[in-house]
Copies of this chain bind each other. A is one copy, B any other.
Amino acid sequence: MYSEKVMDHFQNPRNVGEMENPSGVGTVGNAKCGDIMRMYLDIDENGIIKEAKFKTFGCGAAVATSSMATELVAGKTVQEALEVTNKAVMEALDGLPPVKVHCSLLAEQAIHAALWDYAQKN
């Protein structure tokens, strides 16, 4: 049902945690399942994302997509990070079952919310 990459990122999630003074932080909720996610971004003075961290109450698919998303946005500019869609994240994970696609949206939305927070502050 789940690809090896999904199981790997679910069982060994990368970048779980919080940040003391994030450049941007975004919290989003999923109306369909009631789950929540918070994404923290550390962005340097050149607008490069140095690190992303997340916390979620969501399921394994939400954990796996967020873990992969934090890896995909690290090292990218803010502009490039905005183009990391949940479709790209799902492809990097070798897919998700249809019933789990809504979970993957949490990561994309949380990154967008954190980038928005960063933009507001700068």
**Partner-B contacts on A (CB < 8 A):** 1-2, 10, 33-36, 56-62, 97, 99-100
Residues on the B chain within 8 Å of A57, using CB: 2, 10, 59-61
Residues on the B chain within 8 Å of A100, using CB: 33-34
Residues on the B chain within 8 Å of A97, using CB: 34
- Distance between A60 CB and nearest chain B CB, rounded to angstroms: 4
Residues on the B chain within 8 Å of A2, using CB: 57
In the complex, the chain B residue whose C-beta lies closest to that of A2 is B57
Complex: A34 Cα to B36 Cα, angstroms: 18
Complex: A99 Cα to B58 Cα, angstroms: 13
Q: List 5 A-B contacts (CB under 8 A).
A: A2-B57, A10-B57, A33-B100, A34-B99, A35-B60
- Distance between A109 CB and nearest chain B CB, rounded to angstroms: 16
Residues on the B chain within 8 Å of A34, using CB: 1, 61, 97, 99-100
Residues on the B chain within 8 Å of A62, using CB: 59
Complex: A5 Cα to B2 Cα, angstroms: 30
Are A33 and B33 closer than 8 Å at their CB atoms? Answer: yes
In the complex, the chain B residue whose C-beta lies closest to that of A32 is B99
